[in-house]
Amino acid sequence: MSSKHLYLVDGSGYIFRAYHRLPPLTNRHGIPAGAVYGFTTMLWKLINELHQTDGPTHLAVILDASSKTFRNEMYDQYKAHRPPPPEDLVPQFPLIRDAVRAFSVPCIEELGLEADDIIACYAEAALAQDWQVTIVSSDKDLMQLIRPGLDLLDTMNNRRLGREHVLEKFGVEPEALGDVLALMGDSVDNVPGVPGIGPKTASQLIQQFGNLDAVLAGTDQITKPKLKQSLIDHADNARLSRELVRLKCDAPLPEPLDALELKGLPPEPLRAFLEDQGFKSLLAKVQGDGPATLPSGGPTMLALAPGAEEKPAPVIAQVPFNHKDYETVVDEAALDRWIAEGFACGRIAVDTETDNVDPVRANLVGVSLSTAPGKACYIPLAHIGDGLLSETPKQIAMDAALARLKPLLEAAHVLKIGQNIKYDMVVLSKYGIDVAPYDDTMLLSYDLDAGLGGHGMDELAQRHLDHACIEFKTVCGTGKSQISFDKVTLDRATEYAAEDADVTLRLWQLLKGRLAPEAATRVYELIDRPLVPVLAGMERAGIKVDREELARLSAEFSGEATRLEAAIHAEAGTPFTVGSPKQLGDILFDKMGLKGGRKGKTGVYSTDVTELERLASDGVAIARLVLDWRQLTKLRSTYTDALQQQINPATGRVHTCFSMAVAQTGRLSSTDPNLQNIPIRSDHGRRIRDAFVAEPGKVILSADYSQIELRLAAHMADVPALKDAFARGEDIHALTAQEVFGEVNRDTRARAKTINFSILYGISAWGLAGRLEVSREEAQGMIDRYFSRFPGINHYIAATLGQVRDQGYVSTLFGRKTHLPWIRSAKQGERQSAERQAINAPIQGTSADIIKRAMVRMNPALAAAGLGDVRMLLQVHDELVFELAPEQVEPASTVIRAVMAGAAEPIVQLSVPLGVEIGTGPSWGAAH
DNA sequence: TGGTTCACG
DNA sequence: GACGTACGTGAACCAG
């Protein structure tokens, strides 16, 4: 075997992938160059990576010279439906040839031949001389060439494709692949194939008969009548298709094989080319200046350039966990030693232990500290023993300990490191301590690894330190026998609490250094970290609810529900548990014999709102009754009853907890209670909002962004018609209705609204068809019209999908990443789900970034306007809720509107205005 | 505990 | 040609 190894790069595939992967960028001369940049990067990456393995000795890039080839003489419809290359791609072709030459690599094309044919010819010639051949492509036509000594390299997943791949994908040996391709045809290249035959059937037929001729000769053995007839009717098409997919491998070589020899990579021509185009980040990489750094001016391409994410995780020699080494601090001298140590280190991990998961209700029970891996202590402050046999253990007096800890926790030159430090801030603020400066390992993890797993401490310790933390429940128990932390013995408490601080410090050491190389500094420092004390303040503030009003609503909803239940039982002819989907399904579809299908793996009938609405519109009385019953019981159990329980007796208000590291996209979430899903859409529901009131002498002000996600989509996808409409303040759904349906009325506007949301969610024609209750074809037609009327959306989707497949994550305009590992799932459903998430996450996430920035700036802006006592209470994704004096409404509205509308700047300049709508009233409901 | 349903953006 | 039937959340309830 010769030691020579030829690499043939399918240049056309590279170009189109580069084009669709990158946004429309221009080079230093103002010429479109996104594809040039992408192509150059990919080629550099390829050569660089191959060089580090047992690399190629010969390499060439193969391009298509023209659109007309010998195949058009065989079949004039060949590739006839293929649209011409995009307008902004055409001027990039010559630049791409320049790029290849800059690498000192031959760039080969030949009139009348497609790149695939030239590749086949070179492959044939090289194999004849016993060379190894690798074709850099994932094109299925080229897979026909696979044989011993020849494989394909799919750079998208860095996979080698050989015989096994063809067998797995098409069920046949590579030699028989041409026959399969001929039967199935190719709608993109307009290879006719045989109608009704796709990859599955084609593969099955070839496996059964051996080859195409045998299939066509053996139709009498085929049992399915439709398939048999189609094969007989279109036998000629099948034979023609066989010739169209056959690669021509006997043409003379444009350059001799030896001319493809790789002579290293002379730096000068490449440097000159990159400099001329203004590809600075790539230039830096080529010159060995290390990985791409943060974006600095110029086009956005730096942020998209691959490379930085491929660093190996740093290996830190791990100090073992030994719980017996932790110190229980019970005298002031020992405490002073630890505090001095904290000042000396300049950073210290801190964790508080309390008697309640709700920080607003919690009392401080102890504090743990850590200054180095393995070195941690616990300072018990309010332990009371088990309350039965043991006595209250000896501890430092709370006041004395806090007086000593306060200077450390507030010292400007000592960094306090916490895991979910918002909790500790809320607790400590009740004791007059304002923790600052601070870092939060939960947020570090969230801003680096969103989408790769949870961000709780136990999970992070397992993932990064390979350490299983002592579980809270093994210390305090669970369920009825659970005890509060102040009843835990000091030695158990120390093991648990000090470990938390120890783990937090270790995690901080691992995660903090990743921020800059992984381009997460901006999101962490400018958005999430500064938001922590803002949210802590909102949680402490809480919002007043009118308990009596809630109780009245509960009683009213109860009464109505009881009446409805009786009516439902009467309709059903038997009493049953209306709240049981299983029993309801059996009553509706078995006993009453209504039409409806089984759903789900559990085999229960679906009785959800769409199903019941369908029945109700068919005049089924019980369906409407059940819907009304469900609404009332839902509102009562989830809201009017539960909220009364949630009122904090000490403050008379409800204090939600905002979670910063739960949502995959950067949004907040709200729990205990969830105040982000308080009803508003129904009349019954809206009355619940009226129970959220201002304290006497104050009013509620609600400010919400109007259609922020659609505006961001218009900006991010660069859609002129949508941007203009937003700039002029037009009704965007009406505009969409006009463009898609040609007229605006109630119905078309409602449908247009659905379509607009569908686009944000990355819907399929099937999904839209279901929502609008039209056929799949009609839905596809609407989507097509939408894409043609609003060009840019298409490109955004293609570029986003290319990006996520390439790098495994998508980013917001501010650089927040959402990792989507399922994008590489072998299961189609999981993959498609990840694709929809990829389309939505940058939009939803950018919106989340913007309102978070508004929140970070809000209190200082209000204070600067002399409105320091205006209180921000809630955030509901695109809405902020405030409590203020009536005379403050006017000046505060000005400040709030300005802060919210300008929240993206100066980091991001939007090409659409952000609209802010403000309302006020005695209650949250009235403020809308 | 998992499945179902439904409240919100 | 089969597949699936919109993105992101949290809470309550039923049934096993």
pLDDT tens-digit readout, A555-564? 999 998 888 8
Same domain membership, residue A256 and residue A238 = no
Say how far A432 CA is from B7 C1', in Å: 37
pLDDT of residue A48: 79
* Domain assignment of residue A856, yes or no: no
Least confident of A282-291, A383-392, A470-479, A634-643: A282-291
Point out the domain boundary residue: A206, A221, A246: A246
The whole-number average pLDDT for the span A832-848 is 95
Cα distance between residue A724 and residue A739, in whole Å? 14
Same domain membership, residue A9 and residue A96 = yes
- Residue A525 CB closer than 7 angstroms to strand B? no
Same domain membership, residue A62 and residue A22 = yes
Are A350 and A341 in contact by the 8 Å Cβ rule? The answer is: no
Say how far A521 CA is from C14 C1', in Å: 46
pLDDT of residue A308: 32
Q: Which of residues A596 and A478 earns the better pLDDT score?
A: A478
- CATH number, domain of A416, equals 3.30.420.10
Cα distance between residue A265 and residue A285, in whole Å? 14
* Domain assignment of residue A669, yes or no: no
Closest to A140 measured CA to CA, from A192, A185, A204, A93: A185
Same domain membership, residue A183 and residue A207 = yes
Q: What is the number of structural domains in chain A? A: 5
Say how far A637 CA is from C16 C1', in Å: 23
> What is the separation, in whole angstroms, between the first and last Cα of chain A?
78
> Measured CA to C1', what is the nucleotide nearest A657?
C10
Residue A211 exposed, middle or buried by CB count within 10 Å (0-12, 13-18, 19+):
middle
pLDDT of residue A305: 29
Mean pLDDT of chain A: 88
- Residue A500 CB closer than 7 angstroms to strand B? no
With distances taken from each CA to the C1' atom of nucleotide C1, the closest residue turns out to be: A198
Per the structure, the complete domain to which residue A611 belongs is given by 543-654
Which residues, other chains included, contact A408 with Cβ-Cβ below 8 Å and sequence gap of 6+?
A339, A342, A343, A348, A414
Q: Which amino acid is at A822?
A: W
**Full-model pTM:** 0.69
- Protein-contacted positions of strand C (CB under 7 Å): 1-16
What's the pLDDT tens digit per position in A58-114? 999 999 877 777 888 788 878 776 767 777 788 888 889 989 988 889 999 888 888
Q: What is the CA radius of gyration of chain A?
A: 33
pLDDT of residue A799: 93
Top-ranked range on mean pLDDT: pick from A3-17, A286-300, A832-846 = A832-846
Point out the domain boundary residue: A264, A280, A310: A310
* Domain assignment of residue A813, yes or no: no
The whole-number average pLDDT for the span A835-846 is 96
Cα distance between residue A311 and residue A514, in whole Å? 10
pLDDT of residue A289: 44
Label residue A316 by pLDDT band (50, 70, 90): very low
Cα distance between residue A495 and residue A473, in whole Å? 14
Please give residues of chain A from 618 to 677 whose alpha-adjacent beta carbon (CB) lies under 7 Å from any atom of strand B: 627, 630-631, 634-635, 638, 676-677
> Measured CA to C1', what is the nucleotide nearest A199?
C1
Say how far A854 CA is from B6 C1', in Å: 30
Label residue A204 by pLDDT band (50, 70, 90): confident
Per-state percent for chain A, helix, strand, coil, to nearest 5: 50, 10, 35
Say how far A771 CA is from C14 C1', in Å: 29
Are A431 and A403 in contact by the 8 Å Cβ rule? The answer is: no
pLDDT of residue A313: 37
Residue A482 exposed, middle or buried by CB count within 10 Å (0-12, 13-18, 19+):
exposed
> Measured CA to C1', what is the nucleotide nearest A580?
C14
* Domain assignment of residue A581, yes or no: yes
- Specify which residues A874 forms β-bridges with: A881
With distances taken from each CA to the C1' atom of nucleotide C4, the closest residue turns out to be: A829
Label residue A926 by pLDDT band (50, 70, 90): very high
* Domain assignment of residue A889, yes or no: no
The CA-based dihedral angle spanning residues A922, A923, A926, A928, taken in that order and rounded to the nearest 10 degrees: 120
* Domain assignment of residue A59, yes or no: yes
- Protein-contacted positions of strand B (CB under 7 Å): 3-9
- CATH number, domain of A13, equals 3.40.50.1010
Label residue A600 by pLDDT band (50, 70, 90): low
Residue A99 exposed, middle or buried by CB count within 10 Å (0-12, 13-18, 19+):
buried
Same domain membership, residue A525 and residue A646 = no
With distances taken from each CA to the C1' atom of nucleotide B6, the closest residue turns out to be: A634
Percent of chain A scoring above 70 in pLDDT: 95
Whether the pLDDT of residue A892 is over 70: the answer is yes
Say how far A631 CA is from B6 C1', in Å: 8
Whether the pLDDT of residue A317 is over 80: the answer is no
Q: Which of residues A646 and A607 earns the better pLDDT score?
A: A646
- Residue A566 CB closer than 7 angstroms to strand B? no
pLDDT of residue A302: 25
* Domain assignment of residue A228, yes or no: yes
Handedness of CA A808, A812, A816, A818 (dihedral sign): negative
pLDDT of residue A603: 67
Same domain membership, residue A30 and residue A5 = yes
Say how far A337 CA is from C12 C1', in Å: 50
* Domain assignment of residue A686, yes or no: no
pLDDT of residue A604: 75
Say how far A600 CA is from C4 C1', in Å: 13
Cα distance between residue A813 and residue A847, in whole Å? 9
Same domain membership, residue A305 and residue A330 = no
pLDDT of residue A1: 56
> Measured CA to C1', what is the nucleotide nearest A682?
B7
- Residue A318 CB closer than 7 angstroms to strand B? no
Lookup result for tokens 């009013």: A699
Say how far A827 CA is from C2 C1', in Å: 13
Q: Which of residues A218 and A868 earns the better pLDDT score?
A: A868
- CATH number, domain of A641, equals 1.20.1060.10
The whole-number average pLDDT for the span A3-11 is 92
pLDDT of residue A565: 86
Point out the domain boundary residue: A654, A685, A700: A654
Same domain membership, residue A554 and residue A484 = no
Same domain membership, residue A343 and residue A297 = no
Same domain membership, residue A528 and residue A401 = yes
Same domain membership, residue A276 and residue A137 = yes
Say how far A349 CA is from B6 C1', in Å: 42
The whole-number average pLDDT for the span A254-280 is 85
- Residue A863 CB closer than 7 angstroms to strand B? no
pLDDT of residue A823: 92
Whether the pLDDT of residue A517 is over 90: the answer is no
What's the pLDDT tens digit per position in A158-168? 788 899 888 88
- Token pair, residue A289, equals 């200046």
Are A417 and A408 in contact by the 8 Å Cβ rule? The answer is: no
The whole-number average pLDDT for the span A884-907 is 96
Lookup result for tokens 């700036």: A857
Same domain membership, residue A45 and residue A28 = yes
pLDDT of residue A203: 86
pLDDT of residue A647: 94
